[in-house]
Structure 1
C-alpha cells in the first residue's frame, strides 16, 4: 500500500523541505509567528509537527488543516483530489493509496473522565505548591483548580489504576502504548500539570509548566509521536462562570490566577496569535449571555509589532461577532494583569498590617 507522506503535503503547501542530512525543519507557525519567526518544527521522519511557541501539534492531516483552514474531517478528501491519487501514472494495479493511520482525539467527555481520574491519583510537590502560593493562589484555590505535579516514573502502573476507574485513554493526548502493548502516560521533565477546561468546565487537555527553564515554560501534553498516542490542539480555557462580561487573556494559568484574585470570569487563548479555536468558544459563550469582552494581554503587546498586528485582528473578530470590546491597561512595570492584581493586593495587606500595629 502506498500512502500520503509528509513530503506530499509540505510540497502542496509550498513549505520548505529540511536541509540535506536533516529530518526536520522550522517554518512560520500560522497561529503565533510573525513574518520573520519560525517556531513550528516539522519532523519528516516521524511525520509530525509541533510549534515550540503556542504548542499546536499533530500529524500529516492536522498540518494540512492548520495551513489551509479546511475542517479536519474534509482534509483527506481534499488531499485526494489535489494529489489526484486515482490518476497517478506508472503505478502497478495492485498498489493504492491509503489514508495515514492516526489516532483520532477522543470526545470531550472521555478526555474529561480520563484526565480527572489521572489527576486524582497525583500529588503536588511542596516546591510547586510554594510556586502557586507566590502567584496568589491559596490551598483552596489549588485544590479546586486540580493542579498536580507531573508524574516522573512508573507511569504504566499509574495508568493501570486509571483504567480501573473505567477511564478510556484511547485518543487522549498524553497516553500511549508501550512496546508490550500496555497503556502508559508520557514521561517528561518535572513541572506543574494545568487542567485546561472548556466552557462547560470539562478538562479538555493538559498543559505543563516546566521547572527551571526560561524558554518554552508552558507545553501541551501530547503523545503524537508515540504508538497509540494523540496530538493536542491548542485549546482555549475558561476560568469562572460566564456572565455578561468576560476577560480575554493569554495562558490557562494566568486566567486561573486572575479569576482567583479578582472573581472575574477569564477566557484564555494559548497566545495572542493562537486564535484558531477562539471563535468557537466565543460563539458558545454568546449563547450563555456574554456580550462584552475585555482583553488583558501582557503589556509587551504595546511595543511588539507582531503582537500588535495579531491584536488588531482579534479586535476585528470581536467586532464581526457583535461583542462590545475594550482593553484593560495597567502599570507596565507588571507584565501581566495577574502580576498587577497580586502586587496591589499585597500592598493592601501590608498597609492593613501597619495600621493594625499602629493601633
Structure 2
C-alpha cells in the first residue's frame, strides 16, 4: 500500500483527520491514536505517516489508508478513495486540501506537499539503531550507575510482587534517575567508550549535547528486556503514576508500562518492543506470557523458562524467537496469557496467534488455565505460596469445621457433626468454553459485566454442571452463610473428581434446602440472587 499510495493526492494523516481519530502520542514518523475498530482508548493504534500504514497493537487490525477509511465507514476501497478526495477538495479537514500547509515541526508531522514514502519534510531525523552488543553495553553500564530506591525495593518485595532482595538484584531492576542527571549520566557513558547514538532513549539535545530521555512524569522502575543470548535489548519503565487521559473515566486504569524510547526526539531511536527471555535457552518447554515483570516473577516462583511479549497482539518479534528456540530443542510452548483471554476477544486473538507461530516452527502449543480468581500467572503462583505459608487453625478454618461436605454422589459426609444440623443440596454451574466459543464477555466478571453483555440473567445455555453434592451445617443458617462456606471450600481448589475450576466470579451456585431451589451469581465475595434454568445447562461430564 505504501508504494502505491505515493501517487495519491492525500496521505494517511488526512484520513486520521477525516475520521476524527484522537491522537495520544506523536513520534518522529508516526502517531498513536485510539483504535476505531476495537474501541480501545489508550492510544494503541500506530499510524505511520511515512509509509501510510496503520496497526493496532491491541486488536491486531492493520492495513493501508484506504482500508482504514473503508473499514470505519463500511465501504469499499474505491468508494473510500472517492469520498476522501471529495472531502479534502471541499475543505472538510484543516489537514489537507483547502487547509493550512504549515507543518507542526515540533510534533514531527509531515507538510502537505510531502509525499508518502519519502522522508517527511520537517520531520525529526532519527539515528540508525545501534548494534545489539552496543545497546547491551550502554544499558548495562547505565544500570550500574543507577540504584533502586527504598520505595521501589519495598514494592518489589511486597505481597503483590513477592520478590526477595537477592532476586531483585539478580534481575537488575533500578529506579529511573531524575531529569537533572540525564546529561551527566550520558557523558559518563560516552567517556567509558559507550555508544549512545542509536540506543533507544538517547537523543541529541537542541543544545548540541547527547542526553537520555528520563523525566519526573515518567519516573518508575527500570525493567531490562533481555534476549536469549542474555544481552539487554531494551528497557521498560513501570510507572510510579500511570498515564491517564483527562477524559478517561475514573475506573479506567491508566498506562502502567512504557518503553524507554527517544523516537520523538532529534536523532533518537525507537525501542522496537523487543521480546523478553528468562530461563534456560535449551529448555524443552517454554511459557509465553504478556509482560516482562510478570515473566520475571513467574520464573522466580516456578523455575520455568518464560518468554514475554509487550502486548497480547504485539507478536512481530516472537517468530524469530520461536525459530531460535526450536533450533535449540524446544518442543512445547505453553500459552500463559492472563485469564481475561476468556472474556477479551483481543487477548484471545493474540493467544491464538501464539499457537500458529509455534506450529510454524514445528512446536506443540497448549493453553495454561488456572484459578480464575487470579488474573495473571504471577498472581496465581503468589497466592499458592501464601496459601502454603498460612498456618492451620485460623479463624476461617475453625468456622469451616462447622460445615461438613459430602462426597459427590454419595450423600455421606466424612463425619456427622455433634451439633444440631441440617442437610442442604447444592450444585455449581460454570461457563463452558467449547471449540466454537473462545470468549464470553462476562467470563469471570461481576453482575454488571453480565448486564453490559446484554443479559439480565445468566444464560444457562452457556453453562455446564460441574459439581452436584450435599453438605451438613448448623441448623438455622441462612443462605449467605452457606454460600460463604461453599466459597471458602471451593475458592482455592476443587476435589480431584471435579471437572471445573475453583469457584470464581460468573459461576452460579444452586441451593436446595428441600423447600425450594435458589440460584446465586458469584460476584467476587457477593452472591447475587438470579433466575436460572438448569435444564438448559450442559450436563456434568463423565
Native 8 Å contact 1:175 1:230 kept in 2: yes
**How many angstroms apart in 2 are the aligned matches of 1:256 and 1:106?**
26
The Cα shift of 1:170 comes to 1.0
2:303 to 246, 258, 263: 263
**How many angstroms apart in 1 are the aligned matches of 2:343 and 2:224?**
31
Aligned length: 310
RMSD of Structure 2 on Structure 1 (CA): 3.7
Is residue 178 from structure 1 mapped to residue 205 from structure 2 by the alignment?
A: yes
The Cα shift of 1:158 comes to 1.2
User: What's 1:110 paired with?
Assistant: 134
User: What's 1:202 paired with?
Assistant: 231
User: What's 1:40 paired with?
Assistant: 45
The Cα shift of 1:190 comes to 1.3
The Cα shift of 1:20 comes to 10
User: What's 1:300 paired with?
Assistant: 340
CA distance 1:314–1:11, shift in 2 (3 Å): farther
Native 8 Å contact 2:141 2:189 kept in 1: yes
**How many angstroms apart in 2 are the aligned matches of 1:107 and 1:217?**
28
What TM-score, normalized by structure 2, do the two folds share? 0.51
Superposition misfits of 4+ residues, deviation over 6 angstroms:
6-10, 12-15, 20-23, 46-54
User: What's 1:146 paired with?
Assistant: 172
**How many angstroms apart in 1 are the aligned matches of 2:296 and 2:384?**
17
User: What's 2:363 paired with?
Assistant: 323
Q: Deviations over 1:250-279 (max 9, x none)?
A: 011111000111111100111111111100
User: What's 1:192 paired with?
Assistant: 221
User: What's 1:283 paired with?
Assistant: 323
**How many angstroms apart in 1 are the aligned matches of 2:274 and 2:14?**
25
1:336 to 376, 388, 398: 376
The Cα shift of 1:166 comes to 1.1
Q: Deviations over 1:268-291 (max 9, x none)?
A: 111111111100111111111111
1:209-228 correspondence runs (5 A): 209-213=238-242, 214-228=253-267
Q: Deviations over 1:283-311 (max 9, x none)?
A: 11111111110111000010112222232
Gaps of 5+ in 2: 24-30, 68-114, 243-252, 395-542
Native 8 Å contact 1:52 1:216 kept in 2: no
CA distance 1:18–1:203, shift in 2 (3 Å): same
Q: Deviations over 1:80-125 (max 9, x none)?
A: xxxxxxxxxxxxxxxx996564311111111000000111100111
1:79-118 correspondence runs (5 A): 99=119, 101-118=125-142
Larger RCO (CA under 8 A, 6+ residues apart): 1
What TM-score, normalized by structure 1, do the two folds share? 0.76
Q: Secondary structure at the match of 2:287?
A: strand
Gaps of 5+ in 1: 57-62, 68-95, 355-359
CA distance 1:132–1:244, shift in 2 (3 Å): same
Higher helix share: 1
